[in-house]
C-alpha cells in the first residue's frame, strides 16, 4: 500500500470528527420543531449547504491524495464514507433523545 493511499484514508478522520460534532450539536441544541418558517428554511439551507460542502470536500481531497478517480472501485471508501454518516445519524439521535429527556424533567 502506497503512502498516498494511507494519507488519503487518514484525511477522512477530520471530516468524520467534524460531521459527528455537527450532528451532535444539531441534535442537542437546535430546538425542534422550529415554528417560524423563515428560521426553519434558513436552518435547512445552511445544513444542506454544509453537507454539500462537506461531502464535496471529502471526496475531492480523497481523490486528490489517493489518485483514484473512480471511487466506486475503492472498497475502503465505499464502506467508510456511508459508515461515517450512519454513525453521525446515531449521534444525532442520541443528542436529540438526551435533550428531550432534559426538557421533560
- Taking only the tens of pLDDT, the chain with its 105 residues reads 678 888 888 889 999 999 999 888 888 887 777 888 898 899 889 989 999 999 999 999 999 988 888 888 888 888 998 999 999 999 988 888 888 888 777
pLDDT at 5 (0 to 100):
85
For residues 61-71, one letter each, b for 16 or more C-beta atoms within 10 angstroms of the residue's C-beta and e for the rest, the string is bbbebbebeee
For residues 25-60, one letter each, b for 16 or more C-beta atoms within 10 angstroms of the residue's C-beta and e for the rest, the string is ebbbeeeeeeeeeeeeeeeeeeeeeeeeebeeebee
Close Cβ partners of 9 (under 8 Å, ≥ 6 residues apart): 66, 76, 80
Please tell me the pTM assigned to this model. Answer: 0.79
Q: Where are the domains of the chain?
A: 3-104
Amino acid at each position: 500500500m502506497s503512502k498516498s493511499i494511507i494519507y488519503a484514508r487518514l484525511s477522512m478522520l477530520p471530516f468524520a470528527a467534524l460531521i459527528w460534532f455537527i450532528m451532535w450539536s444539531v441534535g442537542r441544541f437546535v430546538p425542534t420543531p422550529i415554528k417560524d418558517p423563515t428560521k426553519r428554511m434558513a436552518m435547512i439551507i445552511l445544513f444542506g449547504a454544509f453537507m454539500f460542502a462537506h461531502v464535496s470536500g471529502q471526496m475531492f481531497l480523497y481523490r486528490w491524495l489517493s489518485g483514484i478517480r473512480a471511487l466506486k472501485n475503492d472498497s475502503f471508501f465505499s464502506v467508510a464514507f456511508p459508515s461515517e454518516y450512519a454513525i453521525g445519524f446515531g449521534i444525532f439521535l442520541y443528542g436529540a433523545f438526551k435533550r428531550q429527556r432534559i426538557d421533560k424533567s
